[in-house]
Amino acid sequence: MTIRVLLADDQALLRATFRILIDSCADMEVVAEAADGAEAVDLARTHRPDLVLMDIRMPGTDGLAATSAICADPELAAVRVLILTTFEIDEYVAQALRAGASGFLGKDVTADVLLDGIRTVAAGESLLSPTATRTLITRFLASPAESAQSAAPEGLAALTAREREVMAWVAEGHSNEEIAEKLFVSPLTVRTHVHRAMTKLGARDRAQLVVMAYQSGLVRAVPPAGDA
């Protein structure tokens, strides 16, 4: 199946470069290009791409606002957003995750990493390393300001005890292989529990499942070392 990609970046030269790179792959194609966030939202509704490759800094409606609009639209539930930006700072990563993005890459990545990232996110996985999950989610997504908007803990009632346990390990940044070792099961079994939890909670992907774990109170934040 061909992965249909929408490019959203205000720099025409970069869009052209990404188009050439993506269209050179047999398993993906660029279906549209947007020069700002508002156009990205409109084109996402028109073309229903599998993935939007989204820049953050754009004139008018920025990439974060566009990501939020796309992820909040029920008709675009199947559309994934992969953030690609030169501004690799923690606040942007956290805001992108809260907005519903499934992954985050810097523009300095290699072509192979970018293409693999597109495939990963289009497949429904999140593009977050365990380390990024631990530090970013703990520092920002579980802040007091966010907890006021948290999901009700009873929302987890649909999960089995094992699914809640696996969800908690995922939220703490552990890979399927690491969780499998802790629970003495296979990575495939862990993957099955993760996907069942995502389905029951209506999570778009693993990244959103992590956010839900913190917002519901299943996992509590621990301030990073050195914080007051």
Q: Domain 3-127: give its CATH code.
A: 3.40.50.2300
Phi then psi for 143, rounded to 5 degrees? Answer: -70, 160
Q: Where are the domains of the chain?
A: 3-127, 136-144+151-215
Q: Which residues contact 82 (CB under 8 A, 6 or more apart)?
A: 51, 52, 53, 54, 101, 102, 103, 104, 105, 117, 118, 121, 127
3-127 and 136-144+151-215 in the same fold: no
Q: Which two tokens stand for residue 65?
A: 């606002």
Phi then psi for 163, rounded to 5 degrees? Answer: -65, -40
Find tokens 């690491």 and name the residue.
178
Per-residue confidence in pLDDT tens, the chain, 228 aa: 899 999 999 999 999 999 999 999 999 999 999 999 999 999 999 999 999 999 988 989 999 999 999 999 999 989 999 988 775 555 676 777 778 888 888 777 889 989 988 998 888 777 665 555 555 555 555 554 444 444 445 578 899 999 999 999 988 878 888 899 999 999 999 999 999 998 899 887 787 888 788 778 887 765 545 444
> Residue 224's pLDDT is what?
47
Q: Domain 136-144+151-215: give its CATH code.
A: 1.10.10.10
Do residues 8 and 19 lie in contact, with contact meaning Cβ atoms separated by under 8 Å?
no
